Amino acid sequence: MATLYIVATPIGNLEDITLRALRILKEVDIVLCEDTRVTRKLLSHYGIQTKTESYHSQSTFSKVEKIFGMLRDGKNLALVSDSGTPTISDPGSRLLYLVREEFGDGVSIVPIPGASALIAALSVSAFPASEFVFLGFLPHKKGRETLFSEIAESKRTVVFYESPHRVEKALNSLLTGCGPSRQIVVARELTKMFEEIVRGTADEVVSYFKNNPDKVRGEFVIVVRGRHL
**DSSP-assigned letters across all residues of 181-225:** T-EEEEEESTTSTT-EEEEEEHHHHHHHHHH-GGG--S-EEEEEP
- Regarding whether 122 and 58 lie in a shared domain, the answer is no
How many domains are there within the chain? 2
- Regarding whether 102 and 17 lie in a shared domain, the answer is yes
Domain ends where: 88, 112, 136?
112
183-188 and 220-224: which strand pairing?
antiparallel
Is residue 143 situated within a structural domain?
Answer: yes
Domain ends where: 77, 112, 147?
112
- Regarding whether 202 and 184 lie in a shared domain, the answer is yes
DSSP run (H or E) holding 44: helix 36-45
Q: What is the pLDDT of residue 208?
A: 97
- Regarding whether 123 and 82 lie in a shared domain, the answer is no
Q: 124 lies in which domain range?
A: 117-224
Q: What is the pLDDT of residue 229?
A: 57
Is residue 229 situated within a structural domain?
Answer: no
Torsion, Cα 9 10 11 12, to 10 degrees, reads -150
DSSP run (H or E) holding 137: strand 132-137
- Regarding whether 66 and 32 lie in a shared domain, the answer is yes
Domain ends where: 112, 131, 151?
112
The pTM score is 0.92
DSSP 8-state symbol, 73: T
> Phi and psi for 7 in degrees, rounded to 5?
-105, 120
Q: What is the pLDDT of residue 165?
A: 94
- Regarding whether 143 and 46 lie in a shared domain, the answer is no
- Regarding whether 108 and 18 lie in a shared domain, the answer is yes
CATH of the domain at 153: 3.30.950.10
- Regarding whether 106 and 10 lie in a shared domain, the answer is yes
**How do the pLDDT tens digits run along the chain, 229 residues long?**
999 999 999 999 999 999 999 999 999 999 999 999 999 999 999 999 999 999 999 999 999 999 999 999 999 999 999 999 999 989 999 999 999 999 999 999 999 999 999 999 999 999 999 999 999 999 988 889 999 999 999 999 999 999 999 999 999 999 999 999 999 999 999 999 999 999 999 999 999 999 999 999 999 999 999 997 5
